[in-house]
Amino acid sequence: MSLECTLCQAKFSHPSVIEGDAIFCCSGCRAVHGILSAKKQLEGYRDHPLFQQAVSFGLISNPELLSQIKEKQISLEEGEKKRLVLTLDGLWCPSCADVIRLVLAQTKGVISCVVDYTTDLCVIEFYPKFVLKDKILQLIHALGYSAAPLESLEKKRISRSLFWRLLISSFFSINLMMLSYTLYASELVGETHPYHTALTWVMAALSIPVVVVGGIPLARRAWNAVKVGLLGMEALVTIGVTSALVVSCMHLFTGAGGVYFDSMSMVITLVLVGRVLETKAKFSAKDSLLQLTHSLPKRARRKNPDGTARFVPIKEVRIGDTLLVNSGEKIVLDGKVVAGTGMCNESLVTGEAIPVSKKSTDLVTSGSFLNQGRLEYRVTHDADRSMLYQLVDTVSKDLKNSSSNESPLDTILFWFVPTVCLIALVTAIFGSFLSAITVLLISCPCAIGIAAPLAESRLLFALIETGAVVRNRFILSKLGEATVNVFDKTGTVTEGQFEVLSGIDSMSACVRSLLKSIANCSSHPISRCIAGNIQEPLVSITHFSEHPGLGIEAIYDAKQIRLGSSRFVGAKKDGLYFAINQTLYPLELGDRLRPGVKEVLSQLRGRSILLSGDQEKTVREVANACGFIEWRSEVQPLQKREFIQKLQKEGEIVAMIGDGFNDAPALAASDIGITLASSTDFSIHVSDLCLTNNRLDVLPKIQALGQLGKKIVKQNLFWAFFYNIIGVGIAAFGYLTPLFAAIAMVLSSLMTVINARRI
């Protein structure tokens, strides 16, 4: 029979020491247990210094405890981990991200480093004891990139340095090409222009700004990548441009052979153009994360033991503290009401716009707003575990995951660059140096680099004209491929504005006037809705009083008038009623459907599902009215996200159409997140695409454009790689000169531009 020591949990077969109900493996354990028991410190005894010293000195015989304590001491010595989110500038291709990641990963104190090329975000976990934040920023700057904390982000489409590099390079490259026409014409007809030498020197001078401003930053990045064993697009460009520059300078000084200052300058300029196009089309998830961070509450009104209250930072609030919230303020943490009553708008989390009554023992959720009343509530979850923080954290993680998907083009380029370099090297050895330069120039991935961005830019403009703004360009490849369309109800399929559907028209003018008068005295959303639907003039009422969660009442001409729930007015059937003494007038409130929903569902590709946090009856009625075959009700925000992920695991491509804060986790997790212009800022910032006119009938048009755009992108990429494969083969065998290689490169880029304009 196996026994276990009461103190150290060591396993043994025969008891060594028995004392009452306790069994010890040795006398040392019994002695330590006796001391801790006498001091009444047995609870959590493993963290007690006496116990840890006894383990270190060998008085306690379980060897596993010593290793556990040492591991804990090491972690304590390292100190608290910190997380740093940076926005980067100057990333040219995925290899740039790999360079930063590899260099930082080798730095002492850095636990992990994730660099996302698609969003220019860098997330670093580190121990401040070993490396400071300033040191991390210095390392990134030394590699040739700029970095800044996410909190200090300045919104800009293109960095100022990239803009000026493109402007300068374009100006001098255009002038170079104009001068080169004379030389090309002379070579084609076999005659030497009298100013040939002078023009060559002028071209050399004009190429210097292009090389310095546009080429050197590329070369610096290529060198940093080579140092960590990576070859990217900038390496190929650098090798080709450098080779052309060296040969051109040699021919310039010796007077033998042609020069390629114009070709190498155009190579640099076209690469910069591709970079600008990509930057403009790139989704800036860092903006979204910044908005998410700013949406979190920073302080709370905490009640002191003496009954007073003061604002304190959220991080100082502990579970069990009592917080106060007044009418019009946000509930910042999850808790349970201990005093007061009020009406809470929980639409931020549940999606249900009708305020909910709150009284003692009721639960309140962070992110809710107190429309009316005053509440005292005891905190049940700290900031890291509250509903609002969980939603933000979930959305942030999903954003990072969805934006860090590697493009298939990046994988191809990973092998394309080394292969071209190898072909050029073999050509130089077995062929000629001039042919090797031609291989590098004709394969410079300008057409490849702009093939997708150009087509996507045209698609972006076409979508804008249709009424949709794309926030994440990486969903363009999936835009027409959705197999499941998931719709939120309130504010998406419906208009999100409560209206009186029935009850008012059957009343007399006098009754409507009384109803408007009592409703006008309340700021409750339902009361405001009713008052806004009645045109009759107001009358004077007295003794107005409001009962949160029940209704409102007043006196008019000795008659008691009430507006509220069935329980408040004494009706037998649930619903909303207006009562004059014992006479009841039922009212029906509802949310109107957006026009054309049924037609939209019939035109969309794939099946459609209605997903809502509302009650089953309401969701069923809306689903039947719209033509949804599948629907889900009473679904919480994180459950919506789980539902989306379940569909994705089944192989579905999911498009989520929503508008509220409660839809944000599902929007971020979906393959295509779509919001309306009337959506909350939070949901818009995590969406991939935003409709500008609140019209769902544009969804089928968006799908059609997405399919056309994907087709054009594939055609452009096919042409770009076909051109490179054929061109490299011809150049390697010496049948192409650097001059015609540069011309072919420009023509290839022009072909991708013309094809992209078909969208």
Domain CATH for 311: 2.70.150.10
Which range (36-50, 232-246, 615-629) has the least confidence?
36-50
The pLDDT value given to residue 47: 59
Question: Does the pLDDT value for residue 284 go beyond 60?
Answer: no
The pLDDT value given to residue 16: 61
Together in a domain, 531 and 543: yes
For residue 702, tell me if it sits in a domain.
no
344 close to 364: Cβ distance less than 8 angstroms: yes
The pLDDT value given to residue 739: 57
Question: Does the pLDDT value for residue 77 go beyond 50?
Answer: no
For residue 721, tell me if it sits in a domain.
yes
Place 225 in a pLDDT band, splitting at 50, 70 and 90.
Answer: confident
State the Cα–Cα distance between residues 492 and 489, nearest whole angstrom: 5
Together in a domain, 221 and 277: yes
Together in a domain, 558 and 635: no
Place 37 in a pLDDT band, splitting at 50, 70 and 90.
Answer: low
The pLDDT value given to residue 282: 46
Question: Does the pLDDT value for residue 610 go beyond 60?
Answer: yes
618 close to 632: Cβ distance less than 8 angstroms: no
Together in a domain, 180 and 134: no
The pLDDT value given to residue 57: 53
User: Which of 152, 172, 201 is at the close of a domain?
Assistant: 152
Question: Does the pLDDT value for residue 623 go beyond 80?
Answer: yes
Place 215 in a pLDDT band, splitting at 50, 70 and 90.
Answer: confident
The pLDDT value given to residue 119: 59
* Domains held by the chain: number: 6
Together in a domain, 640 and 504: no
683 close to 295: Cβ distance less than 8 angstroms: no
Phi-psi domain of 190 (left: phi exceeds 0; alpha: psi -120 through 50; beta: other)? left
Together in a domain, 562 and 582: yes
For residue 58, tell me if it sits in a domain.
yes
Together in a domain, 476 and 609: yes
Q: Which string of DSSP letters, residue by residue, matches 447-494?
A: HHHHHHHHHHHHHHHHHHHHTEEES-GGGGGGTT--SEEEEEIIIIIE
Strand partners, 608: 485
Higher pLDDT, residue 20 or 82: 82
Average pLDDT over residues 36-41: 59
Q: Parallel, antiparallel, or unpaired for β 484-488 and 576-580?
A: unpaired
For residue 463, tell me if it sits in a domain.
no
Nearest to 711 by CA among 482, 462, 479: 479
Together in a domain, 118 and 171: no
The pLDDT value given to residue 633: 85
Return mean pLDDT, the chain: 76
Together in a domain, 18 and 45: yes
Together in a domain, 618 and 688: yes
Together in a domain, 126 and 184: no
Nearest to 158 by CA among 265, 288, 278: 278
Question: Does the pLDDT value for residue 636 go beyond 70?
Answer: yes
Question: Does the pLDDT value for residue 286 go beyond 50?
Answer: no
Residue type for position 190 = G
Higher pLDDT, residue 551 or 95: 551
Nearest to 407 by CA among 478, 336, 325: 478
For residue 390, tell me if it sits in a domain.
yes
The pLDDT value given to residue 296: 60
**CA contacts within 13 A on the Cβ side of 466:** 24
**Structural domain that includes position 221:** 160-281+405-454+712-756
Place 665 in a pLDDT band, splitting at 50, 70 and 90.
Answer: confident
What confidence tens digit (pLDDT) does each residue in 417-458 have? Answer: 778 888 888 888 888 777 887 787 677 655 565 566 667 767
Question: Does the pLDDT value for residue 400 go beyond 50?
Answer: no
Average pLDDT over residues 288-317: 73
Higher pLDDT, residue 334 or 55: 334
Compute the C-alpha angle 144/148/154, nearest 5°: 115
For residue 51, tell me if it sits in a domain.
yes
Residue 165, both tokens: 């590099």
